[in-house]
Structures are given as C-alpha cells and as structure tokens.
Amino acid sequence: MKAIMAMSSNRCIGKDGKIPWHHKEDFQWFKEFTINKNIVIGRNTYSKLPILKNRTIWVISKTIKESAGAICDTSTMYHYTSNIDIIPKDAIVAGGKSIYELFMPQITEFYVTIIDKEYEGDTYMSEFEHNFSTQEVIKVFDFGKIIKYTR
C-alpha cells in the first residue's frame, strides 16, 4: 500500500481541517499521484476536501456499519465504510493522521512532501520514519522536497 502526505518542518499536517499552506506544485503532485486511483481517507478529511475528480474514494468512518455502498458524484466514486478489510490493497492512503496511523503497518511506500517552514496547526504527524528502511528525495521545490520512504 502507498501513502501520500504533506507536512511542515515542525510536523504540522493540518489546521481547522485544512493544510495551512498553499503550494500549487504540491497540489499538482497530489493530483498526478492519485488520478484514476483508489484513495482512502478518514471522514473528517473527506468533509474538508474539494471534489477529487477521476478517483475512487474510500471514506473510513467509525459510525458507519460495514459497507454503506457507493455513491457516484460526477467522475468520482465514493465508498463509505468502517470495514478496513474491504479497502483495495492498491489504495493510496491520503489522511488524516488517524488513518495514516491505522494503515501504517500496510504502507510500503510513503511519499511525504516536507515544507521547509514551521506552521501552527492543530494536527501534527507522529514520528513514522523508523518504520521505513530507506528514504530518497524524489523531487525538490523552492518551498521543500518530496521524500519517498520505503520498507
């Protein structure tokens, strides 16, 4: 399983349900990486996201029993479930913090944009780097870089 995330140099990943920075190049990277793929996100993250076209979104919620079926909205298919066993193995984990932590044992590739600035927020990512044996910088921006962590 793969995952994608952006975090600041002080490990901030969110404020009021959103990311506290705006870098067009990072949004473009997210789009390219996830287009036409399965994405798994938590209910809180889902509630703050814009419509992500041309993806299949798996929304994890503790309040939904098993699988509540699927809803198609424009070119996006949404599945709502509390049963993580039905999530496709090729899904890309895309947040929030509790979903990253839930799927950490299954994540074999973690693509993390590191923003070279500290931000204040209400959600900070716990240390995960020790779960991976290698790391490689795959892209550099003027505001930071993308590191690929691999098991």
Residue 86 and residue 70: Cα distance in Å, rounded?
13
Q: Could you tell me the residue range of the domain that residue 144 belongs to?
A: 2-150
Q: Is 127 helix (H, G, I), strand (E, B) or coil?
A: coil
| β-pair type (76-81, 56-60) | parallel
Domain harbouring 112, CATH code: 3.40.430.10
Q: φ and ψ at 33, to 5 degrees? A: -70, -30
Query: pLDDT tens track of the chain, all 151 residues?
Result: 999 999 999 999 999 988 999 999 999 999 999 999 999 999 888 888 888 889 999 999 887 655 555 666 667 888 888 888 889 999 999 999 999 999 999 999 999 999 999 999 999 999 999 999 999 999 999 999 999 999 9
Q: φ and ψ at 66, to 5 degrees? A: 45, -125
For the chain, what is the domain count? 1
